[in-house]
Amino acid sequence: MFQGEIISHPSKVASESWFSTDAQFYKLYPSSVLSLSKNHWTPLIVARKAANFLAVEKGARVLDIGSGIGKFCLAAACYKPQAFYTGVEQRANLVEYAETARQKLGMDNVSFIHGNFTELDFKQYDHFYFYNSFYENIAVAEKIDEAIPYSIERYNQYSYFLYRQLEKKLSGTRVATYYGMDNQMPPGYHVGGSDLDDLLKFWVKE
């Protein structure tokens, strides 16, 4: 088990009413996270579309890289409960918010890891969701906080690591990117579709 992983336990099925609107969903969290929602937390409409694309087979293991407060994983787990969702996040307080929300929802197909995604074994996951969490390293503003170091070198390091890991994945691997950059995807992946003015793209490895 990866150090810091939080494993959920079976409980009641989460009520879909929590996912009726973004505003309703944020009632699971302290008000302090709302100010970051516009630039950092996945909109529910994006989570639904991405989950429909990623959870194509029963038991699929989906990794959210830079999961923040866990919004994508929790919403996807509600919309497509036949898959398993893992979020990895560097900030301990955000992982705590995500786990608290998971417990309130009673979901058993979601887990969260406090750590750096470069320490994960990508062989453990089938498909991936990426809301360009590396962008903080090159953005002048729009950072979540100052709890972690930022640099263009770190941006390049993370982008290269993700590129290499996706390069090694098997044919049929799916990646949903939101505000992603096409050059972050290795050769062999093609865009199988897009939505929301091409902000959300659906990639499949040939």
CA atoms within a 13 Å half-sphere pointing along the CA-CB vector of 149: 5
- Between 127-136, 139-148, 158-167, the lowest mean confidence (pLDDT) is in 139-148
**Does residue 63 surpass a pLDDT of 80?**
yes
Please name each of the domains of the chain with its CATH number.
5-205 (3.40.50.150)
The pLDDT confidence band at residue 7, using thresholds 50, 70 and 90, is very low
CA atoms within a 13 Å half-sphere pointing along the CA-CB vector of 15: 8
Residue whose tokens read 């089938």: 126
CA atoms within a 13 Å half-sphere pointing along the CA-CB vector of 115: 16
Q: What is the pLDDT of residues 182-201, one digit of tens each?
A: 888 999 999 999 999 999 99
Cα angle for residues 29, 74, 100 (degrees, 5° grid):
40
pLDDT at 116: 96
Give me the helices (H) in 89-150, please: 92-105
Mean pLDDT of 112-135: 95
Question: CA 92 → CA 29, 98, 110, distances in Å?
Answer: 15, 10, 17
Residue whose tokens read 């787990």: 77
SS (H, E, C) 7-28: CCCCCCCCCHHHHCCHHHHHHH
Percentage of residues of the chain with pLDDT beyond 70? 91
